[in-house]
Amino acid sequence: MEFSKRLNNLPTQFFASLVEKVSVAVADGRDVINLGQGNPDQPTPAHIVKALQQAVETPATHKYSPFRGTVQLKQAAADFYKRTYNVDLDPNTEVAILGGTKIGLVELPLALMNEGDLMLLPDPGYPDYLSGVALANVKYETIPLLYENNYLPDYDALTETQRQQAKLLYINYPNNPTGATASISFFEETVKLAKEADIGIVHDFAYGAIGFENEKPVSFLQAAGAKDVGIELYTLSKTYNMAGWRVGFAVGNAKMIEAINLIQDHLFVSLFPAVQEAAVMALSESQECVTELVKLYEGRRNTLLTECRRIGWEIDAPKGSFFAWLPVPKGYTSEAFADLLLEKADVAVAAGNGFGEYGEGYVRIGLLVDGERLKEAINRIEKLNIFGREGQCNRHE
């Protein structure tokens, strides 16, 4: 039996190929320092684990969940947004529970677009946005995120055709892969564009908790009128080290939320109720664990900056997320440089071209190993004698 056209049209899974390269090296007995992954390395906080353990022992959690998630989790999400961002949400109509936000990002084109409709995606951007494009059989065009514009889209550069035809626009701050952040004024500009051009906004807020130098990332929904035009997707994966738990939610525009809920009525029966109870604990109790996690990432970021600059690799400090976006040396493509680091230094990084055309010339490093391993990685790279020479990087050219 042949695969459907939809499956055959799916993009190559970028992260799967990266994992395969690393796995081959590890199988050969090499001590690979993996800086290419996006998987949190810290355990889920103990009070959240305990909440799950207790919930699992309750027979009521062994039954089907309500199709659209428990009342308690939707209320906890609404309360979290009020407490954290001073955003008011109706838990019944403005919150959708997700089995990880990747599900929401991929199913939204299916729920809100017709075949052949146009969506706008950031470049560089999260590769799995393209999965939704392929499954819904819609068209897409990219908006460059450039260094000279602080990795923000330049809405003035949109063509009149894009303004007239686009149905959805995805944005993502703190940004994967660049580590850039956005301001309220940028989100207000986004709302203005959405209202003028009748474009729905989807803000992927996966790294919403992770901002550095005492700059807390702002929510898209804090911009006036944001709920009129769009939604925001929040995951517990990064904030609470719950990546494998697969739990998140979408909040905002009631019509878009209803579209998510309706398509999920036909695909899922929500999440394991015990996981939802643990998620309530994560969102509702002390956030000290989040504060400590951000300190940990900031310390690792500072170690990376110090070590890279020590060897002559001039890089910019990421403002948020747990990624750094580093220029590659002159004479190398992103992929060739990433392959060199794996082959000659046993250091794995993600090639920037895997995130889009405008990712070429960069590699992405995750702050997901401890400081000593970061130092060791840069020491290994130093021994390749690539850096320290004037003009060695394709920096922002």
Burial of 54 (0-12, 13-18, 19+ CB in 10 A): middle
CA distance 206 to 204: 6
The pLDDT score that the predictor gives to residue 97 is: 98
The b/e string for 93-105 (b: 16+ C-beta within 10 A; e otherwise) is ebbbbbbbbbbbb
Kindly list the domain boundaries of the chain, sorted by start residue. Answer: 5-43+288-382, 63-284
- pLDDT band at 17, cuts 50/70/90? confident
The pLDDT score that the predictor gives to residue 14 is: 76
Contact 81, 87 (CB under 8 A): yes
Amino acid making up residue 163? R
CA distances from 79 to 84, 88, 91 (A): 8, 8, 9
Amino acid making up residue 309? R
Pick the CATH number of 63-284 from 3.90.1150.10, 3.30.70.360, 3.40.640.10, 3.40.1390.10: 3.40.640.10
The pLDDT score that the predictor gives to residue 387 is: 87
Residue 224 has pLDDT above 50, yes or no: yes
Residue 101 has pLDDT above 80, yes or no: yes
CA distance 123 to 371: 30
Residue 395 has pLDDT above 60, yes or no: no
Amino acid making up residue 239? T
> HSE-up of 337 (CA within 13 Å, CB side)?
28
Residue 394 has pLDDT above 60, yes or no: no
Proportion of the chain above pLDDT 90, given as a percent: 93
Residue 26 has pLDDT above 50, yes or no: yes
Dihedral, CA of residue 324, residue 305, residue 369 and residue 372, to nearest 10: 170
What's the mean pLDDT in 261-280? 97
> Which tens digits make up the pLDDT trace of 132-161?
999 999 999 999 999 999 999 999 999 999
What's the mean pLDDT in 13-39? 89
The pLDDT score that the predictor gives to residue 390 is: 45
What's the mean pLDDT in 303-322? 96
> Which tens digits make up the pLDDT trace of 116-130?
999 999 999 999 999
What's the mean pLDDT in 271-275? 98
How many Cβ atoms are within 10 Å of 84's Cβ, its own excluded?
16
Q: Please tell me the pTM assigned to this model.
A: 0.95
- pLDDT band at 251, cuts 50/70/90? very high
Residue 182 has pLDDT above 70, yes or no: yes
The pLDDT score that the predictor gives to residue 397 is: 46
CA distances from 204 to 38, 51, 108, 230 (A): 15, 27, 12, 11
CA distance 245 to 109: 24
- DSSP strands (E only) in the chain: 33-34, 95-98, 118-123, 139-144, 166-171, 200-204, 230-235, 248-252, 323-327, 347-348, 350-351, 362-366
- DSSP strands (E only) in 261-376: 323-327, 347-348, 350-351, 362-366
> Which tens digits make up the pLDDT trace of 36-90?
989 999 999 999 999 999 999 999 999 999 999 999 999 999 999 999 999 999 9
The pLDDT score that the predictor gives to residue 18 is: 82
Q: Is the peptide bond between 122 and the residue preceding it cis, with omega within 30 degrees of 0?
A: no
Greatest C-alpha distance within the chain: 66
Find where tokens 């209320």 sit. 75
Q: Which residues pair with 323 in a beta bridge?
A: 366
5-43+288-382 homologous superfamily: Aspartate Aminotransferase, domain 1 (3.90.1150.10)
CA distances from 275 to 23, 66, 331 (A): 30, 13, 49
The pLDDT score that the predictor gives to residue 389 is: 53
- Give which of 237, 97, 120, 109 is closest to 171, Cα–Cα: 120
> Which tens digits make up the pLDDT trace of 201-221?
999 999 999 999 999 999 999
